[in-house]
Amino acid sequence: MPRALVLGGTGAIGRAVARRLLAAGWAVDLTGRDPARMPGDVAGAGGRFLQWERGDAAALRRAAGDGADLLVDCVCFTAVDAALLLEAAREATSIVMVSSKAVYLDAAGNHVNADVPPRFDGPIREDHATVAPGNGDYDTREGYGRNKVAAEQVLLDSGLPVTVLRPSKVHGAGARRPREWALVKRVLDGRRALLLADRGRGIDHTTAAANVAALVEVVAARPGARILNAADPDAPSALEIARAVATHLGHTWEEILLEDDTDPALGKHPWEAAHPIVLDTTAAADLDYVPAGDYATTVVEELDWLVAAAAGGPDAALLPPADDPFFAPYLDVTAEDRFLARRGGEPAAG
Ligand SMILES: NC(=O)c1ccc[n+]([C@@H]2O[C@H](COP(=O)([O-])OP(=O)(O)OC[C@H]3O[C@@H](n4cnc5c(N)ncnc54)[C@H](OP(=O)(O)O)[C@@H]3O)[C@@H](O)[C@H]2O)c1
């Protein structure tokens, strides 16, 4: 039985990878800091939880044991992390490092975390320019992409069969930042109007954890040193995302599509993009990767997980708290209610 070790395995990507591999007959070990985050179904299917804190070299060597057929690292953020991974990965048959599309740089030198939004000419290929490698704090807007590039380089220079995956906006059950919560919470609150900035035109490519998992299974069978974008086969706009969520949850709301010059506090959502950000996934397709599904099909998993958690299910504690600063601008309805009151209140419940 082939064995996989998934570092940072209890989050969105790790869970999806574990589920996919377990179903295909693999033995899977998943690491995390908090055993309470281990999904019951993954444990039930034979997945084994190992406690590991990023940076703990000795524990990582123990977890890797005599080698794994597949080593997937979802918590590799810096060159130091990458060097540590290499120490444990020498005996692995195939290694996957989860990087990010945040590494890409447009012609004017802007990236997705820059003050000026990037403007790419079209779908971004893996050989597109990236930010320069760097170190320092990775948990900053400037540091994140630079540290990822530095980590990628350490791994790709090692001569080992490392596949670097560059996902975009990840969705999946177990996500620490489940962006669709910005919509699901509104549905659960029974809101009958949905305001969307820029008429909901923003496109920032989505990446289903289940599609990352499908790609991981492919590279497990075809080890090699390479970089692959990882994204959904479609690239829905914010309006299409909102419609997929409402349709799945059986909710209707009036779509209020706001023009650019409306109050910037209105209609905010997590997929705003001044210019479309779309990843070219041809390189993955050339490896005979078949996506698990498009956005509307794959997002269902996260939506059902969020609804179950909101109803007090086993993952209730993983829901974003009411004062979560990431979600605050999307879920603060003060300005929205004023706007709706001015035009005569929220539409009646349907
Ligand atoms: N989410 C996105 O939209 C997105 C987009 C592009 C790239 N990425 C990349 O994808 C990877 C994250 O994947 P994900 O979205 O599945 O993440 P996630 O849902 O946030 O899960 C993170 C996983 O790592 C564990 N973890 C977090 N901090 C840790 C630490 N200090 N030491 C050990 N384990 C730790 C978590 O469990 P515990 O908290 O219990 O330790 C969990 O298992 C990252 O490399 C990120 O850069 C994500």
Residue 187 CA to ligand 1 center (angstroms) comes to 27
Pairing between β-strand 193-196 and β-strand 254-257 as defined by DSSP bridges? parallel
Is the per-residue pLDDT at 348 higher than 80?
no
Is the per-residue pLDDT at 1 higher than 70?
yes
Neighbour-count burial for 123-160, b at 16+ CB within 10 Å, e otherwise: bbebebebbebbeeebeeeebbbbbbbbbbebbbebeb
Yes or no: say if 195 and 322 are a contact pair by the CB < 8 Å rule: no
Rounded to whole angstroms, the Cα distance separating 268 from 337 reads 14
3-state secondary structure of 303: helix
* Closest C-alpha residue for ligand 1 atom 1: 170
Q: What is the pLDDT of residue 344?
A: 81
> Which residues have C-beta atoms less than 6 Å from ligand 1?
8-14, 32-34, 37, 52-54, 74-75, 98, 100, 167, 169-170, 174-176
Q: What angle do CA 75, 77, 81 make, to 5 degrees?
A: 80
Q: Over pLDDT 70: what percentage of the chain?
A: 99
Atom of ligand 1 nearest to the CA of 76: 45
> Taking residues 112-138, what's their average pLDDT?
97
Give bridge partners of residue 98 from the DSSP assignment: 165
Give the pLDDT confidence of 264-283 residue by residue, as tens digits. Answer: 999 999 999 999 999 999 99
Give the pLDDT confidence of 35-67 residue by residue, as tens digits. Answer: 999 999 999 999 999 999 999 999 999 999 888
Which residue carries 């969105």 as its tokens?
12
Is the per-residue pLDDT at 94 higher than 90?
yes
pTM reported for the whole predicted model:
0.97
* Closest C-alpha residue for ligand 1 atom 11: 74
Q: Which alpha helices (DSSP H) does 250-331 contain, by range?
A: 282-285, 295-310, 328-331
Give the pLDDT confidence of 214-231 residue by residue, as tens digits. Answer: 999 999 999 999 999 999
Residue type, 38: M
Give the pLDDT confidence of 146-168 residue by residue, as tens digits. Answer: 999 999 999 999 999 999 999 99
Atom of ligand 1 nearest to the CA of 98: 45
Structure tokens at 44: 């039930």
Atom of ligand 1 nearest to the CA of 77: 45
Atom of ligand 1 nearest to the CA of 167: 6
Residue 167 CA to ligand 1 center (angstroms) comes to 12
The DSSP secondary structure of 24-87, one letter per residue, reads TT-EEEEEES-GGGS-HHHHHTT-EEEE--TT-HHHHHHHHTT--SEEEES---SHHHHHHHHH
